[in-house]
Structure 1
């Protein structure tokens, strides 16, 4: 006679369940700034850069997108430390530790980057509008009105929720990547291809670096965690928020690159030079049908452009306020913080004006990303030095990790500047 015993798994102790709930609540409390800034990172300009990379070079720039995942997390994690520990924005810390002149230099680079970014976002929406026969002035006007309403009628938390909601439309490009059916042999060959003797390739290398590590991201996330009221207790949740966002943003970039590589580059020897946003849409339609493809592409591109437009316009207004001292919280109305909203509107106006001037939308987007790469030494230099100078001992950047961060920073800056200059002067 045999006796069978039923194995019963021990129930988790109340203490274990409480810790898990506490960890989840801490993450949910911190969630937002990292995911928003990463969704904004994959903006209209970044998507256009990824599309051009795939159309011209196939999978040769795919390895760069993968390598940039830990790098963009490394950069943004430093902004978390500085924001939650000091309770100050990036411009404020630069002024406190380096002086007003250096703070103005940093904010000047920020304004250049933000202006370039808002041009990209407006151009992305305008390009989609043109696909559907909508005049540029209508598209740009609608975006401007939407962004004004979002800022004037909402607290930071409400703006954050709107940004995440519209930004998630970018995930549509993961579907197009799968449906484009890339050839594994071509992908593997592309991962091992580095034609560094070609100036056009170097130009796109710089553009891809500038499309992933952007100056305004540093200012935004640091100001956002401060405006949201996050503190040291939220640092772990904020890191998870940023890590998840880092993977999501690069998956979207990879998806766009693979989609155009599989549909355009693979079928045209020597690659294709994209000149309009509609051409990028055409890379998707063979797999989804003309109507469905255009609708999904429009949703993804407009979602990417809107979330980034919210972020960059807010960043410019926050950054200027940190140096000039004007009130700069979304919790303040127009009467309480007039200059905050003046800067916010000015950035939008410049973007709309440039886009409606008739410039080539593809070229201006890629050029903006190259400018971002050229600005990296100033932006990353301040960030890393502040991480060693402005933080108390437990949170300071130090030891072997500091060596890793400095090494990555120097390599990124050198590669971005070299590729950008080489591409500009030899193309």
Structure 2
């Protein structure tokens, strides 16, 4: 049997399921994969999925099945790289590729993720305002809570809290059923493609991919596996976590689409998650708006921790600094310092009066640029037997992964191009 390898920090793996059996082992495996995928259903994701339901009702459900396949492939490769190499993606990229290219990718990722952190705290404020709590109270408290969770605990403690926060996503299936959906139409749209040949549909389809497959998710998935100390012997369970987490997260995404489709399908695009929640009231009643708001809070709070953590992992790994949630500030000052700065900036900007749309749009454009780069890195790394040995991509999986990366990257670039052209009022 293969000896467990040490991780980036020189530690022996802390995670093991060798003495667990059956369903207990699989429940124990839930961790980085599930957390990373669920974090993708953040405030921006809620807006996108709700807007899909409000504009095109159930017609994007089959497309979401295709997106699910892409997310499964990408997340599985990320988790496999972390497990068998004992290193995060940024470390592997630094070792295997040009330092200049790595630096540019990391800088773009930092700017993109900082914009996302702002949106997560804005989502926290918007969700609790639906309960009558001012964002000037909720956002600072949430910022201190997220900071304390990471700075004062261990990785295992933080992971348990992240998993507990993921329970908030169960609010969306409840909201969907309370909206009295048409199950026949749902089934038909899931099985049979219902693509709409319009600019708005294409734009939304690209946005669905962008919000579902985000670079920070892959970075966190690989780094979380390393920080957790998963050994190659335990990879079957870690693969279950990565694949199962991706599937669960996208099922939740579909329920968001179904909830708004049943309540306000055909009413046009939405501009905020709180608008989506309020729009449900006439059809589903007061209970649904609070359930939707609770889901938004959980989604935003989880992503408010995961997004800045992925940035901290990336920078610390690329620069060769100590990085682990289990370390103290004294032992990992760069890693935890970067996390602290992001939380402070994100919460502060989220409290600034006025619209944050320009900042969020700019971060979305950068994400459209970063996503193809990160996905190509992941594919090339996962194909290398010098890194993964027998765990490298096989011929069939390599073909599926290549098609996925090419498809997702192309659509990400389309979204970036559409957004930039929109700034100059071209093609609109």
* TM-score normalised per structure 1: 0.87
Distance 1:145 1:230 in 2: 30
Distance 1:73 1:38 in 2: 9
Report the counterpart of residue 147 of structure 1 in structure 2: 146
Secondary structure of the corresponding residue to residue 401 of structure 2: helix
Report the counterpart of residue 381 of structure 1 in structure 2: 376
Distance 1:262 1:288 in 2: 9
Post-superposition shift, 1:300? 0.7
1:167–1:307 Cα contact (<8 Å) kept: yes
- Aligned equivalent of 2:331, options 308, 332, 336: 336
Secondary structure of the corresponding residue to residue 387 of structure 2: coil
Matched, 1:403 2:403: no
Report the counterpart of residue 416 of structure 1 in structure 2: 412
2:120–2:304 Cα contact (<8 Å) kept: yes
Report the counterpart of residue 195 of structure 1 in structure 2: 196
Report the counterpart of residue 41 of structure 1 in structure 2: 40
Measured at CA, do residues 369 and 57 of structure 1 come closer, stay the same or move farther in structure 2, by a change above 3 Å? Answer: farther
2:206–2:412 Cα contact (<8 Å) kept: yes
Report the counterpart of residue 347 of structure 1 in structure 2: 342
2:329–2:337 Cα contact (<8 Å) kept: no
The Cα offsets for residues 359-385 of structure 1, whole Å up to 9 and x where unpaired, read as: 546786677556434422101010000
Report the counterpart of residue 275 of structure 1 in structure 2: 271
Report the counterpart of residue 126 of structure 2 in structure 1: 127
Distance 1:244 1:29 in 2: 13
Distance 2:97 2:389 in 1: 20
2:91–2:320 Cα contact (<8 Å) kept: no
Matched, 1:223 2:223: yes
How many residues were matched structurally? 404
- Aligned equivalent of 1:320, options 312, 315, 327: 315
The Cα offsets for residues 346-401 of structure 1, whole Å up to 9 and x where unpaired, read as: 21223223322335467866775564344221010100001122524311113122
Measured at CA, do residues 25 and 256 of structure 1 come closer, stay the same or move farther in structure 2, by a change above 3 Å? Answer: closer
Secondary structure of the corresponding residue to residue 406 of structure 2: helix
Measured at CA, do residues 385 and 29 of structure 1 come closer, stay the same or move farther in structure 2, by a change above 3 Å? Answer: same
1:41–1:217 Cα contact (<8 Å) kept: yes
Distance 2:107 2:396 in 1: 32
Report the counterpart of residue 111 of structure 1 in structure 2: 110
Measured at CA, do residues 86 and 26 of structure 1 come closer, stay the same or move farther in structure 2, by a change above 3 Å? Answer: farther
Distance 1:310 1:252 in 2: 20
1:80–1:221 Cα contact (<8 Å) kept: yes
Distance 2:284 2:205 in 1: 30
Measured at CA, do residues 350 and 207 of structure 1 come closer, stay the same or move farther in structure 2, by a change above 3 Å? Answer: farther
Q: CA RMSD in A?
A: 2.5
Post-superposition shift, 1:232? 0.2
Distance 1:152 1:418 in 2: 39
Report the counterpart of residue 66 of structure 1 in structure 2: 65
Secondary structure of the corresponding residue to residue 391 of structure 1: helix
For structure 1, which segment, 117-126 or 81-90, has the greater mean C-alpha deviation from structure 2 after superposition?
117-126
The Cα offsets for residues 28-70 of structure 1, whole Å up to 9 and x where unpaired, read as: 5533111111211211211111011111222232222121112
Distance 2:415 2:253 in 1: 20
Distance 1:403 1:96 in 2: 25
> Structure 2: 5+ residue runs without aligned partners?
1-17, 422-426
Post-superposition shift, 1:186? 4.9
